[in-house]
Chains A and B, each alone.
Chain A
């Protein structure tokens, strides 16, 4: 505390010697802070110069009385703990920060691990369970080509743009080694460099890459429109090819063997089903040399069996982004919002609410249409909340899920549907 000059204390004492004092009523009201502002100032003015009234006011403090009474009951002086007051408050604050920080970190890690596991296992499940829509073969081929083109494009970008410098160098070295072993491949690569579009087309044509794709191209399967699923094994192999071209070139017989073992996938479902099986078989061929490439990718944590290049790109960069378009369609972006693609969920349903928790998605819209995906949008199922004989038919306004179990759906007519078991059972609350 700054030292006050003695002359100030002396003059303070001599400033005012009031003759009249405020009565007990005003002093009591001052103590209780119940005076009008003007009166409060007047009393303060008097107190500043009157030691007697200051003493009265000091004695008349109600809190002090209570403290003293408590002290009289326990005459021993109460020693303040070192862990009290401001220290306790700061310690509590620090503890809160630590707890919140730990929770956020663990939550982030858990979400990453969960989505990693889902991405690794999702395509196989989808290929086995998802019904494939009927489409004309030409349309399917076109869709397949487009999607393969897109996935190859993403794959190319990934191989150059998202790898670390060391990986780029090693990939270039691998390519050079592959070129030296195969003049045909080197020539093709030169052509690709001259004309990127042509190169992309060539990449899209599976016949160029390896024997497996060649076999499949010979009898082109009907590919479902969500070609990211069916193209995944091919993409995986292509990606593998990019990173370990020399090993792949060293073992063409092995891959051709796999291609021959694959049954001709004439029905679309069979084609979809065959893709992960093929990838599985390839993964099991550890002695063929291809497994090295798979292991390399698996070690990096972004390549699971059957994972598509597009999925990989999204996975390595960031999770796919989800939005509702102005027309009420569910759209998805795998390239951090640069391009968006419509996800076909619920025909002609206008969606107005979307909730994404990790890899689980809830999307709802007009007339109580509510859809759920547990695998980052690969597979969708419609949910019809019912409670006490009442079904959700009103327009869904908001969807809020704080975790996979607990969520809330509100409707335009102020109904609130809540679930505590991930959407199996619902409870309705009407405001």
Chain B
């Protein structure tokens, strides 16, 4: 994922013919993108995604997997072609607002989000005297619509995180919590053997399984959402998660056994979690305080009535 310095790659004859045919297929000429610029874009993409000294075959394979029509459109827009922008607006204007509406869940926020992205795409900001257009970073690996959706999501998440940190003092005072310090997460001492056994069991799992586990148990995604992300049926994810939970429990118990615990101890270490006890105590305490407040008020009221 790290960006390497772009190597100067000599274009062989085979690659040259491929790039020519790709340029013709992309319709870059109609959009005002010349062939030289298109070849340069392809070179940049190859330098970004292929290792140094990659074979001609690898390069051809990468080029053939690109969405060249979208690539030409995006880079023609980045070059400032009017025709390209007309085509872009025609295709994506309404779509961007729709996507923003889905992400922001509120119409004014969605419009603000989409407009800010338009500004970035058009290149209102400058860097070192040059207009920076976000579309020039599009590489054609996925569709332009998918890329726009991802960029919009990124923008939204960044904004949300920034705004989350800024809490209005008025709102806090209304809630009766002036200058409340953030609550510290209590660190719970867990047996290091349990942690080590759990890490071993998790490391042994394939990436897809860990992704499914994290999406379901940490992010709270639904089975349908995870299934769409991975590209399988919902029931497959359900079965997989069920199996994984059982498998992990079994593996951790085995790991604890290897670390010197007998079966009963390992079972207790896994099942009796101190955080459960803490939550129970906290809940109980909260109930008790709430119960205490009402008798006081009632007592005051009865006193007032008596007077």
- What residues of chain A have their CB less than 8 Å away from a CB belonging to chain B? 1-13, 15, 20-36, 41, 44-49, 51-52, 54-65, 68-69, 72
B84 beta carbon closer than 8 Å to chain A: no
Contact of B207 among A12, A44, A72 (CB under 8 A): A44
Find chain B residues with CB under 8 A from A27 CB. Answer: 150
Point out which of A23, A49, A56, A61 has the most chain B C-beta atoms below 10 A from its C-beta.
A23
Q: Does B231 contact A (CB under 8 A)?
A: yes
Q: Decide if A65 touches B219 in the complex (CB within 8 Å).
A: no
**In the complex where A58-B229, A59-B103 touch, is A8 in contact with B248 (Cβ < 8 A)?**
yes
Interface residues of B in 257-307 (CB under 8 A from A): 270-271, 273, 275-276
Contact residue among B65, B101, B198, B219 (Cβ-Cβ distance under 8 Å from A11) = B198
Cβ-defined partner of A65 (8 Å) among B139, B149, B194, B242: B149
Q: Considering the complex, which residues of chain B in the window 209-225 have a beta carbon less than 8 Å from any beta carbon of chain A?
A: 210-211, 213-215, 217-219, 221, 225
Q: Which of B168-212 contact A (CB under 8 A)?
A: 190, 194-195, 198-199, 201-203, 207-208, 210-211
Q: Are the CB atoms of B147 and A24 closer together than 8 Å?
A: yes
Q: 13 A-B Cβ contacts within 8 A? A: A4-B248, A15-B210, A24-B154, A25-B147, A26-B1, A32-B143, A44-B208, A44-B211, A51-B214, A56-B154, A58-B215, A61-B229, A72-B101
Chain A residues with CB below 8 A from B249, complex form: 2, 5
A60-B153, A63-B228 known; A8 vs B202 contact (CB < 8 Å): yes
CB contacts (< 8 Å) of B245 on chain A: these are 1-4
In the bound assembly, the distance between CA atoms of A24 and B158 in angstroms comes to: 14
Nearest-neighbour CB distance to chain A for B203, whole angstroms, equals 8
Interface on chain A toward B: helix, strand, loop, or mixed SS?
A: helix
> Contacts A28-B149, A60-B146, A62-B149; is A11 near B195 (CB within 8 Å)?
yes
A45 to B98, CA, bound (A): 31
Which B residues between 11 and 30 are near A, CB-CB below 8 angstroms? none
The answer to whether A9 and B141 touch (CB under 8 A), given A27-B150, A69-B101, is no
Contact B213 A4 (CB under 8 A): yes
Nearest A residue to B248 via CB reads A8
B142 within 8 A of A: yes
Give chain B nearest CB distance to A48 CB in angstroms. 4
Let me know if A21 and B1 touch, CB within 8 A.
yes
Chain B residues with CB under 8 Å of A36's CB are 65
How close is B182's CB to chain A, nearest CB, in angstroms?
18
Assess A2 versus B246: contact at CB under 8 Å? Given A32-B146, A56-B150, A64-B228: yes
What's the dominant secondary structure at chain B's contact region?
A: helix
A35 touches B231 (CB 8 A): no
Chain B hits for A2, CB < 8 A: 241-242, 245-246, 249
Q: Check if A59 sits within 8 Å of B153, measured CB to CB.
A: yes
Contact A64 B102, beta carbon cutoff 8 Å: yes
A12 touches B214 (CB 8 A): yes
Task: Give the residue name and chain of the A residue nearest to B253 (CB).
Answer: A5
Complexed CA–CA distance, A64 and B242 (Å): 25
CB-based contact A34/B252 at 8 Å: no
B42 on interface, CB distance cutoff 8 Å? no
Given contacts A20-B1, A54-B215, A69-B101, contact A32 B229 (CB under 8 A): no
Bound-state Cα–Cα, A33 to B65, Å: 12
CB pair A31–B202 under 8 Å, yes or no, is no
A9 vs B195: C-alpha distance when bound (angstroms): 11
The smallest beta-carbon distance between A91 and chain B, in angstroms, is 18
Beyond known contacts A5-B249, A28-B146, A60-B149: 17 more, CB 8 A cutoff: A2-B241, A5-B270, A6-B276, A8-B252, A11-B202, A12-B217, A15-B210, A20-B2, A25-B137, A31-B146, A34-B65, A44-B207, A48-B208, A48-B210, A49-B214, A61-B228, A62-B146
Partner of B142, one of A4, A15, A28, A47: A28
A68: chain B residues within 8 A (beta carbon):
101-102
Quick one: given A11-B199, A26-B141, A52-B157, are A65 and B98 in contact (CB under 8 Å)? Answer: yes
Flag whether B151 is at the interface (Cβ < 8 A). yes
Cross-chain contact B157 with A29 (CB below 8 angstroms)? no
Q: From residue B209, how far is it (CB to closest CB) to chain A in Å?
A: 8
A residues in contact with B157, CB < 8 Å: 52, 55-56, 59
